[in-house]
Amino acid sequence: MIRVLKGEAAAVYVSSLERRNSQLHAIEPAVRRIITDVRRRGDQALRAYAKKFDGLQAKQPLRVARGEMRAAWEKAPPQLQHSLEKAASNIRRFSQWQKPPSWIRPNGGISLGQLLRPLDSVGCYVPGGRFPLISTLLMTVIPAQVAGVKNIRVSSPRPSQEVLAAAYMLRLREFYRTGGAQAIAALAYGTETIARVDKIVGPGNSYVTAAKKLVSFDCAIDMLAGPTEAMVVSMKGNPQFIAADLRAQAEHDPETLAVFITASRRLAGAVARELARSDATNDIATQSLTQNGAILVAHSLKQAFAWANRIAPEHLTIERDNLGLVENAGSIFLGDYSAQAAGDYASGPNHVLPTGGAARFRGGLSVVDFLKLITVQQLSRKGLKRIGPVVIKLAQTEGLRAHAESVRLRCADA
């Protein structure tokens, strides 16, 4: 049964969530040993861990052949093929909308601008746990393709036939059947089979997250993602829909955070009853809702959104009229029919989103994560002479005389 908290109890609960983070320190020594081993022994270590943890067979290659991906696609039911193609189309279109332009603008002898260049290589991690996460493959690979990344390397333990079918549809050339910390180490530092990449993206379990943290000084990463988070803030929503969204996200993991905030005691009670009615089996969602879920009853709409912004959830469903009250969220869903599961699969925006309060300072994975923004400037004689005195004065103030001189001699020549 989900908790219903009011007054001081609700405020204390919100404060406790502000301090939440992934408890990675306990496993970091073990993860560090795996990373060091892969760096030292390369494929030999990678294969040993893949056999131990991922069920890799003795003669099975780490790299999935293109023919194996094609065979998986050809065996996929037509309805699955159609669904994959439609979801991919929507994600690709949204990524194209997101992609910022390159530009240069002249202004009185000074032309300034920016160039957008893709990363050369990225590693996309696709979890292989309880479910075949086809959607994560789409969400990590497609924005990289739209950005123009030339070398996309996918790593996934025990890839299902459905995942391999999606890989073929996306025309991937490099797919490796390895997971966990060892896969992150291989992508970050390279082995005989897997070339190192410039950036690693995608969610994973605590070992994957800890590994991304440890390699992040040598290889860029997207974010340190923790357990899924779902929040709904509503004063007049449909109790069945609200309960359905919370339960849907809760089935990801027993550690999922599922929270409903309202100023309506009546609606709070109705949602609690809906969740109780659906708790027929002792499954992952029920465990998550019981251990980590809560219904918070606020004094007002203002307090409800103050709490929501402090928690900074990964998924947030609200009424459209309240959009202006949101400051922190990974992805926002407006109204009764914007099911959070639609965003997980096929509406277009990315489902790789910040957790643990990281939505306070970044958004979800996007095409921008795969681009480098390079600034450009060109000054004419007239343009340099116009700002020369400013540069000279500031350089002299800092005691950098050579800086000042490099401008002064050009101004004198102008």
Q: Minimal CA–CA distance to 138: which of 98, 161, 171?
A: 171
Neighbour-count burial of 288, counting CB atoms closer than 10 A to its CB (0-12 exposed, 13-18 middle, 19+ buried) = buried
314 catalytic? Reply is yes
319 catalytic? Reply is no
Cα distances (Å, whole numbers) of residue 116 to 110, 188, 307, 312, 371: 20, 23, 37, 30, 6
- Dihedral sign, CA of 184, 185, 188, 193? negative
Alpha-carbon distance of 236 to 218, in angstroms, equals 49
Q: Does residue 171 come out as left (phi exceeding 0), alpha (psi in the -120 to 50 range) or beta?
A: left
Alpha-carbon distance of 33 to 350, in angstroms, equals 33
Catalytic residue among 314, 351, 398, 405: 314
- The residues, ordered by sequence, that sit 6+ positions from 51 with a Cβ below 8 Å of its Cβ are 57, 58
Tokens of 354: 């910040």
Catalytic residue among 74, 315, 319, 327: 315
The catalytic residues are 314-315
